[in-house]
Structure 1
Amino acid sequence: NSFCTLLQMSTSNSTAGSPSQVMAAVFDAAFPSRGDVTGPEKRLEYDLQARRAEARVDEAVLRKIADTFSLPIEECVCADEGCCLLAETGLVLYTASRIIITVDMAVELHAAVPAIVAVLGDAGFEAEWASFTRKNTVCPWDGRGTAIAHEYAVLKECFPGGSPFVFGPVDAHHYFYFVYDNINRKSGVVESDVQINVKLYNCTATEGMVTVGSRSIPLDGDSRRQAVAFHGSTYETLRIKSLPQGSVISYETNAEASAALPQLAKQISTLRPDRITVLMLMDPHSETGKSFASQRSVHLDTFGGYRLANRMSNTFEHGYAVLKASFVKV
């Protein structure tokens, strides 16, 4: 009842602002304690549509993006296929006409989205497709989970045509997923992208290496804790965060599932995480998307020694799908 009363009071105020701003204010009043830091990571993807012929992204543009949320850059890795700024708290990646940002939960990435959109606008781009993802471990209506309401408010202002989704059990490991689709499909565009995001929780192994491309990161924490590798049109990123209960490892690639997940399974057998979560986007013309649509394997059955905790998917209007699955150690 108190929540409904707050909503009525807010919406009756003519100076309250847009509906999304009203909702953020309502959640502020209902749950004063903000800042969910229970998950490992937030992610923003911005697929680029050039508005003018001279539009381009270079290292200087990436650094301007990093400045919008004060990312303390430690390393810049550039190749013909793309460029990546690496820091202890996150990374900014440019490859294949898209910007990908992943940061620690303590970074209020959503607050920087308007400035990021402005930087890319100045560089000559608008969003063809965009998504914001938060790996969450508490109920959005819990007092610890109210940041989602603020994220939604900002994202809806920047991308009015976007929509929010929740993948997974609402009061446990799930993803808040906001997606904006502005793709012009009248031009006969072929959609064949794959995005695979994997989180490994409470990795108890303290010795050995995690490998990305030609780079290996020791698990003892004495060296840099993030890496990127480019392989032609595909990329891999890796981030390791040490917590008292064990390391949390975040891995991302745009390779097909048939290539990426069996290789990852070999490393999982060494890392021995307590829990695995996978979030996978599959375009309809990708090998992975075709397998999913025909109910064939997308190689999530390759994690030996783990059982499925939950799995859910959503197929969007234009045929691409998002699949979320969680596994726990047997």
Structure 2
Amino acid sequence: MTTQWPFPRDEFPSTVQGLMSLWGGFDEPANVTDSGCEKRYEVDVNVTERGTSVLAVTKQQWQALMNHLKEEICECNEFEELTWIRTPQCALMVTKDKVVVTSSAVTLLHLLVAPLMELCNTMGTVQWASFMRKNIASPWEPDNEMNHVMASEYAELKQAFPQGKSFLIGPLDGDHYFYFVFDALNRKNGAVLENDSQVNLVMYNVAPEAHQSESSNGKVVQTCTPLDNKADEYEALRHFYTCGQRCVTFETNATSEAHGDRIVKLLEEYQPDRFTLITLFDPATVVAQRYAKGDRCGLDKFAKYKTENCFTNEFAHGYTVRKTVFVRAAI
């Protein structure tokens, strides 16, 4: 049974949910049927104001946060500059000034939007946040609740970050990203160095022998590996099934220029029929500077694959989100 968020039409809405109810309403998701792949929520904190670190948050505090999703912590690995936390459907990558939460599509990740923001505000000022979800089908498919889930996500995000902006990157009828970004960075007098990198890869119909067998039973297999060159850099992998497809996702925040080489190795290992690549490089990164000169750093062409479509979203402050779909080329 679903519940609605009605709002009297003779009163000015006090919430985003109330405003949306005046536009026709939307239901709170009940069965959480969704044709997406993965969701991602990131919060960046200015910890220099108070001399704190997000790494100081305890395992008990993280569990209290994950209680909003009814997820129990299965594993918590603490490294020098990185903490990785795993639950059955989610993973958290924590550095001194950043939290990244990834989840499966069936997880209502938007329920963490406000609680995580509030937790981070105890460490410092939230200066940047993003929420991203990868969709396979149109949001209006009649056999799932994706439209209600996305409406709930948007409402929670706008309630927490009223100045945030939302984008749809890719074809409307599927294989696109819903991307929400809140940017309150203080860029006056070079107050912040923007040198973050984000690379996400979604591989579909991967080779059976390369796919973790546990995920066929509804279990998600997740790993996170700290990188040797930088203590707060990592690579994360997730094996799962969605819409009958064997899928593997990959994420890294490495600032290396060798992303293209790393992706080539992943493609050789997993042999996907198709894959989606989405990248975000801050303007101070070497990759962004090479991009500005027309050098794509090996991220635009891959042997045995051809480009199906490519979308680029350029932001005012010099960083760019680029999303490309590659399909296996006919022999």
TM-score (norm 2): 0.84
Contiguous gaps of at least 5 residues in structure 1: 1-8, 209-217
**Shift of residue 299, structure 1, vs aligned partner:** 1.8
Question: Does residue 270 of the first structure (1) align with residue 269 of the second (2)?
Answer: yes
What corresponds to 1:326 in structure 2?
325
Q: Residue 211 of structure 1 corresponds to which residue in structure 2?
A: none
The within-5 A match list for 1:58-137 is: 58=56, 59-60=58-59, 61-121=61-121, 123-137=122-136
**Distance in structure 2 (CA, Å) of the matches to 1:29 and 1:20:** 9
Query: What is the aligned partner in structure 2 of residue 192 from structure 1?
Result: 195
- Label 1:140 to 1:52 Cα distance change in 2 as closer, same or farther (>3 A): same
Distance 1:77 1:55, change over 3 A: closer
Note the C-alpha offset of 1:153: 0.9
In the TM superposition, residue 187 of structure 1 has moved relative to its aligned partner by 4.1
Contact 1:191 1:283 in 2 (8 A): yes
Are 2:223 and 1:227 aligned? yes
Query: Are residues 1:306 and 2:305 paired?
Result: yes
8 A contact 2:53–2:97 mirrored in 1: no
Whichever residue aligns with residue 278 of structure 2, its letter is: L
Deviations 1:41-95 (A, max 9, x none): 1100000123534454334343333233222221111111210101231101102
SS at structure 1 position matched to 2:101: strand
Q: Deviations over 1:266-291 (max 9, x none)?
A: 22123121220111111111112112
Deviations 1:127-164, CA, capped at 9 Å, x for gaps = 11000001012333455431222211110110111000
Q: CA deviation at 1:177?
A: 0.2
Cross-structure match for 2:181: 179
* Cα offset, 1:27, TM superposition: 5.3
Structure 2 distance, partners of 1:239, 1:174, is 19
Given that residues 64 and 119 in structure 1 are in contact (C-alpha distance below 8 angstroms), is that contact kept between their aligned partners in structure 2? no
Q: CA contact under 8 A between 1:10 and 1:26: conserved in structure 2?
A: no
Shift of 1:247: 1.8
Corresponding residue number in structure 2 for 1:170: 172
Give the SS at the match of 1:80.
coil
* SS at 1:300 equivalent: coil
Question: Does structure 1 residue 201 correspond to structure 2 residue 204?
Answer: yes
Per-residue deviation, 1:98: 0.5
Aligned length: 311
Q: 1:206 to 1:160 in 2, by over 3 A?
A: same
CA distance in 2: counterparts of 1:243 and 1:93, whole angstroms: 23
Q: Which amino acid aligns with 1:242?
A: Y
1:68–1:29 CA distance, 2 compared to 1 (3 A): closer
8 Å Cα contact 1:200-1:275 kept in structure 2: yes
Provide the C-alpha distance between the structure 1 equivalents of 2:225 and 2:265, rounded to a whole number of angstroms: 18
Q: Distance in 1 between matches of 2:26 and 2:199?
A: 37
- Structure 1, 59-68 or 188-197: larger mean CA deviation: 59-68
- The answer on whether the counterparts of 1:20 and 1:152 sit within 8 Å (CA) in structure 2 is no
Q: Is the 8 A contact 2:54 2:97 kept in 1?
A: no
CA RMSD between the two structures: 2.7
- 1:215-244, Cα deviation, whole Å (9 max, x unpaired): xxx633389821111122421111110357
- Tell me the SS of whatever aligns to 1:157: helix
Tell me what 2:3 maps to. Answer: none
- Counterpart residue number, 2:45: 48
| Matching residue within 145, 159, 182 for 2:161 | 159
Conserved in 2, the CA contact under 8 Å of 1:66 and 1:92?
no
Q: Which moved more, 1:272-281 or 1:67-76?
A: 67-76
2-structure distance, mates of 1:63, 1:32: 23
1:23 corresponds to 2:25: no
Moved more, 125-134 or 243-252: 243-252
Separation in 2, partners of 1:224, 1:166: 26
Q: Is the 8 A contact 1:192 1:283 kept in 2?
A: yes
Q: Which segment is superposed worse, 308-317 or 241-250? A: 241-250
Name the SS for the 1:21 alignment partner.
helix
Is the CA contact (8 Å cut-off) linking 1:21 and 1:153 kept in structure 2? no
What is the alpha-carbon distance in structure 2 between the residues aligned to residue 150 and residue 27 of structure 1? 14
**Tell me, which stretches of 5 or more residues in structure 2 are unaligned?**
1-5
Task: State the AA in 1 paired with 2:195.
Answer: S
Distance 1:107 1:29, change over 3 A: closer
CA contact (8 A) 1:311 1:325 kept: yes
Could you tell me the TM-score, scaled by structure 1's length? 0.85
